Amino acid sequence: MDVKIEESWKTILNNEFTKPYFLEAVSFLKAEKALHKTIFPPGSLIFNAFNTTPFDKVKVVLLGQDPYHGKGQAHGLSFSVPRGVRPPPSLVNIFKELESDTGVPIPDHGDLTNWARQGMLLLNSCLTVRENEPLSHSKIGWIPFTDSVIAKISSLKEHVVFLLWGKYAQEKQSLIDRNKHLVLRAAHPSPFSAFNGFFGCRHFSQTNEYLVKHGIDPIDWSL
């Protein structure tokens, strides 16, 4: 199956595209479209995280659950929203912790593309969602696909920082070789849990300290 995705990822993930779970996901999305369901993000942005952050550039992985389900919010990068869209509460809290940890001022937008271009894979576990229905595509095959992505990064690369915020993301740590990589865990930045350990986690500075220690360019967190 010819999937339109950045070439390095296409090579790494080629075997996944012919597996039954992936073909079922594609069929499901075609059926949704035939029923005139509104799906986010738009088709051209489903693989935006991969297209913006090639495999060979990955040095940080930030794992989300599924895309924002409100109109205009999702653009294929976990926690990110396009410019002109009001940052959701979890993203606002991410910026608050970033400022507290590193001194980087809170931006006037929520577009994290600059982080992605520097090697931060902003990966949602599910790559699509139906409008106003969170987790509506959580059982269509995306999870085995993105689990494979995490496992391949773990096995084929070294010294990657994995940011696992919240219980759901932390369940993925079994896919990661902690002898080769740094896994940083904290509560989810949602307003419901941020005060339970997200605020004060200092993951941004810890990420850059680890990268520099291993001779890797740090992330410029300014947006």
Active-site hit among 56, 66, 111, 147 = 66
SS3 of residue 135 by DSSP = coil
Measured CA to CA, the distance from residue 36 to residue 10 in angstroms comes to 29
Beta strands 161-165 and 60-64: pairing type? Answer: parallel
Using CA atoms in the order 141, 146, 147, 148, what is the torsion angle rounded to 10 degrees?
A: 100
Say whether 217 is catalytic: no
User: Are the CB atoms for 150 and 172 separated by under 8 Å?
Assistant: yes
AA letter at 200: G
For residues 25-51, one letter each, b for 16 or more C-beta atoms within 10 angstroms of the residue's C-beta and e for the rest, the string is: beebbeebeeeeeebbbeeebbbbbbb
- Tokens for 110, please give them: 């929520």
Q: What is the set of active-site residues?
A: 66
